[in-house]
Amino acid sequence: MPYFALTPADRAAMLETIGAPDTDALFADIPTALRDRAALAFAAMDGGLSELSTRRALTGLAAKNTNAEACSYFLGAGLYDHFVPAAVSALASRGEFVTAYTPYQAETSQGTLQVIYEFQTLLCRLTQMEMANASLYDGATGLAEALIMATTATKKKRVLLPRNLSPAYRRVAATYTQGLPIELEEVPFDPKTGTLDLEVLQTALQSGDVAAVVVAQPNFFGVLEDAQVISEAAHASGALLISVFNPHSLGILPPPGSYDADIAIGDGQSLGLPLTFGGPGLGLFCCKQKFSRLAPGRLVGLTSDEQGRRGFTLTLQTREQHIRREKATSNICSNQALCALVATIYLATVGASGLREAASQSFHKADFARQSLEKLPHIERAFSGAHFHEWTLLLPISVAELNQKLLEHGIVGPYDLSRDYPELEGVALFCCTEKRTREEIEALVEAVRLICTTVSTA
């Protein structure tokens, strides 16, 4: 059997010290009927495989998945295939980091704590926000936490969510707020540009009872918003501005702090994490320091020991569930610390110049791919707004059909927006990261040309 450390002789000696005849005696407090039923059920369970057989079985399942090692991905929609230097996973897979617990005992966890403090600082610098926490589960739950915090801080109930915000984020926000006194209100987008409808926003803000306005920069369609104008509108009505950002894009885009966001949340997957079927991801949570006592999740602060040596510790724990229980600012306990470590190492490795270069290449490649595709017959741009590394095209066929056929070319194609937006039938959301080569882009363009020509002449 795997991983057990006790030998039969150890067990016998330990039972003798305890004064029990056998290990069964240690479970004598469990009713016999319960034990019998459990024994029967466990006897019927599969498994108990050797390491070699386990590996064979799971390698077989892995082989059934199309993946970014083998195919060109032009699919993003919140999860991106970026390049990650080898040093990142080599360092992040060190057992000391991977197998440590939450750093409740500060003195034995200085490595973990310093990493989190560095993570918080890197995030503050990347976003130009005043503080960041130690991570939340993912971007979507980060938004939910931000909504709850904003309504608590403003003592107002209404929250404005743009329809061009990720449908997954809106879904999670609805799940998280269903039992709470929070009203989610959708703001439509301009069907021409794909940006938030500012007139509707202004009208919705008139009553002055809005807790927060959410803006996604870039939005789900990849389009850039006029965040400054939206921020001013929100603040003029006494609402907070919650920015949903992609940290990778901040290599070149103006950061949330520059347009005075009160809370900024995002998913850190684009900072060195693999796709892994969408999880684990990394919830990023930043806000103005005046909200520090309302913030969810763990925070690491600077301190010193009895001799004045610098050290780090979890702080403001009186906000958290293990002390405040039902009055805690959030129920979160386990977070995504190891993913925050990956993001920290990624940013340290590539540095300012590397992030700027990767973000800039992502934009240029996306722009090149978009222009090349738009030149094809029967294909046109869906939204006119400026984009970062994702953009939309209206196709002459369904996106599902295009994607089926692209697979034959070794290409994982765009996201089908009609899955969430019935009004966007035939609209595809493409993505290009710095990892895509000109050759791959040209292969995509040629494949799309072939597929769309064949279909429209058929």
Partner 1 sequence: MSELLFELDDPGSASDYLPPLDVPEAPMPFAPRPTLDLPELDEHSVVRHFTRLSHQTFSIDTHFYPLGSCTMKYNPKLNEAIASLSGFAGAHPLQDEQTAQGWLEVLFRAQNVLAQIAGLDACTVQPLAGAQGEFAGLLMIRAYHDKRGEGQSRRRIIVPDSAHGTNPASAARCGYAVTSVQSNAQGNVDMDAMRTALGSDVAAVMITNPNTLGVFEAQIEELCAAAHQTGALVYMDGANMNAILGQARPGDMGVDVMHFNVHKTFSTPHGGGGPGAGPVAVRAILEPFLPVPHVKQTESGAFMWDWERPDAIGSLHGFRGNAGVILRALTYILRHGGAGLQRVSSDAVLSANYILARLKGAYETANPNGCKHECVLSAAKLKAEHGVSAWDIAKRLPDYGFHAPTVYFPTIVKESMMIEPTETETKATLDAFCDAMLQIAQEAITDPDMLRHAPHTLKVGRLDEAGAAKCLNLCWTTPQEAEECETPGPAKRELAGASTY
Return the structure tokens found at 360. Answer: 């800039």
The CB density around residue 139, as the number of other CB atoms within 10 Å, is: 29
Under rule CB under 8 A, which residues in 72-91 are in contact with partner 1?
A: 73, 75, 77-79, 81, 83, 85, 87, 89-91
CB of 456 to partner 1, least distance (A): 23
Q: How far is CA 240 from the centre of its chain?
A: 22
Interface with partner 1 by CB under 8 A: which range of 30-38, 149-157, 186-194, 447-455? 30-38
The answer to whether 256 contacts partner 1 (rule: CB under 8 A) is no
Dihedral in degrees, nearest 10, Cα atoms 137, 140, 178, 260 = 110
Binding-site size, partner 1 (CB under 8 A): 211
Interface with partner 1 by CB under 8 A: which range of 18-26, 200-208, 389-397, 449-457? 18-26
Q: Which residue in 84, 88, 56, 87 sits closest to 68, CA to CA? A: 84
d(CA 173, CA 6): 47
Of 160, 165, 172, 187, the residue at the interface with partner 1 (CB under 8 A) is 172
Interface with partner 1 by CB under 8 A: which range of 154-162, 190-198, 200-208, 364-372? 364-372
Of 21, 37, 202, 425, the residue at the interface with partner 1 (CB under 8 A) is 37
The answer to whether 374 contacts partner 1 (rule: CB under 8 A) is no
Interface with partner 1 by CB under 8 A: which range of 164-172, 203-211, 231-239, 444-452? 164-172
The dihedral region occupied by 164, where left means phi > 0, alpha psi between -120 and 50, and beta the remainder, is: alpha
Tell me the torsion sign for CA atoms 328, 333, 339, 341: positive
Q: Which residue in 415, 81, 432, 423 sits closest to 220, CA to CA? A: 415
Name which of 232 and 401 has its Cβ closer to partner 1.
401
The answer to whether 408 contacts partner 1 (rule: CB under 8 A) is no
The answer to whether 322 contacts partner 1 (rule: CB under 8 A) is yes
Return the structure tokens found at 102. Answer: 């939450």
CB of 373 within 8 A of CB of 35?
no
Render the burial of 39-59: b for 16+ CB within 10 Å, e for the rest: eeeeeeeeeeeeeeeeeeeee
CB of 342 to partner 1, least distance (A): 10
Name which of 29 and 423 has its Cβ closer to partner 1.
29
Under rule CB under 8 A, which residues in 126-155 are in contact with partner 1?
A: 126, 130-132, 134-135, 137-141
Return the structure tokens found at 166. Answer: 């990720």
Amino acid code (one letter) for 41: A
Name which of 68 and 376 has its Cβ closer to partner 1.
68
The answer to whether 19 contacts partner 1 (rule: CB under 8 A) is yes
Of 160, 201, 205, 250, the residue at the interface with partner 1 (CB under 8 A) is 250
Please, which residues have CB within 8 angstroms of residue 376's CB and are 6 or more apart in sequence?
A: 445, 448, 449, 452
Under rule CB under 8 A, which residues in 39-68 are in contact with partner 1?
A: 39, 41-49, 51, 54-55, 57-68
The answer to whether 117 contacts partner 1 (rule: CB under 8 A) is yes
CB of 122 to partner 1, least distance (A): 7
Query: x/- site string to partner 1, residues 198 to 237, per CB under 8 A?
Result: --------------------------x-------------
The answer to whether 99 contacts partner 1 (rule: CB under 8 A) is yes
Under rule CB under 8 A, which residues in 279-318 are in contact with partner 1?
A: 279-281, 289, 292, 298-307, 309-318
Helix or strand (DSSP H, E) at 405: helix 399-407
Instruction: Work out the burial of residue 10: count CB atoms within 10 Å of its CB; fewer than 13 is exposed, 13-18 middle, 19 or more buried.
Output: exposed
Helix or strand (DSSP H, E) at 311: strand 310-314
At 94, phi and psi to the nearest 5? -60, 130
Name which of 222 and 239 has its Cβ closer to partner 1.
222
Name which of 333 and 450 has its Cβ closer to partner 1.
333
Amino acid code (one letter) for 365: K
